[in-house]
Structure 1
């Protein structure tokens, strides 16, 4: 059976969209990671949430090359990073991500609980933390793999949760890359806005909308108001409304939330066949 974002209960979808909007407060990569790992803990049942970042070429080495941001825990970051790095080559979801998978997957999607518990990765890293399953979404960019994970002390995740995390990853990874770029630019304002818009707008063009409509839909997806969009794009609020009305008509929707849902469903290929 095919599942889409419209199958997610209304309250959970609203919470997911609210988390995306909350990341507008992030002005650094570190702040974005913090918002994500703590925000996920409030909308998904979990024992912890992680943001991971590592060089693909170094996966499996014992060097401390991973940035592991831990949420809802008092664990020692240094020790957890070391134990994770030692056995990343065994991680089935990381392997699938490197191969091109961009939807969220759990350990339970890739193997049985018995198979997972036999892995040294489980024995030395997950078992001591009382983690029995993990749902992760990732992407690879310029040789770096990013991942957002939700950890659970029970086995299994729902299709709704897979869709929610897929959506969050699709929306926030481009924002994170934008913030990284911002740190390396002297004159950041306009270049970063362009990077941010283009990262998502290029996907939205597949919806049959114009370039400008795609750019505005990208900003709507990040929770921007018409007034904010007008300031960013250097146009009037009336022009923003007109472009969005045209985009809604092309998408056969009547409001912003429906437009976001339809755009993500189509461009991010978030349908999961079960």
Structure 2
């Protein structure tokens, strides 16, 4: 047995305790959904791409990742993050993978979706745009602590077909984003089929599907509320900076 194998199988050999995987409640279930990875889709609404000064790449979707430990359940208060003066909300449909899938057909991709949830992709917009201008990765802007907010998951069969549902967000009771899931450039099924060409997707994987137009900055004290028809709403309060 290699040293690496021994370390992975013997918790007492670790120098410090490993974090546990975060979990998301599931409507109608006593057991929760453990999250291992978070994939996020960029520029998946044409109007949002336009407001960001770019065009949608309709040849293929593209992705960035957030650490699983960045996940926060709805109703939380999170501090205004360090290193930014332009902290943005992004309201999103999230879906969860329920079975292993690799190089999926359309049928296999549809069967792999376990359920859907409302979510927020919180973003240090100034750092993201600075990185984009320099053709650098977006990690500082996107993969920040407590930036992937999520409500309980609703099983796919209970949610129905993605398309006609309204998706909207308000900040301190003022509506800022308002669209429909039919505005998605790439549907969840298409995303699974594409992403599974590059990853062995498995239970524990969440995919944030992108945000509609209307993104904007928030400050300490703001209350963010987002809804998608048929799903539990997502709420977040922005706390003072640490």
Give the TM-score category using the shorter length: under 0.3
TM-score relative to the length of structure 2: 0.25
- Rg (Cα) greater in structure: 1
TM-score relative to the length of structure 1: 0.23
Pick 1 or 2: higher relative contact order, CA cutoff 8 A, min separation 6.
2
Name the structure where helix makes up a greater proportion of residues. Answer: 1
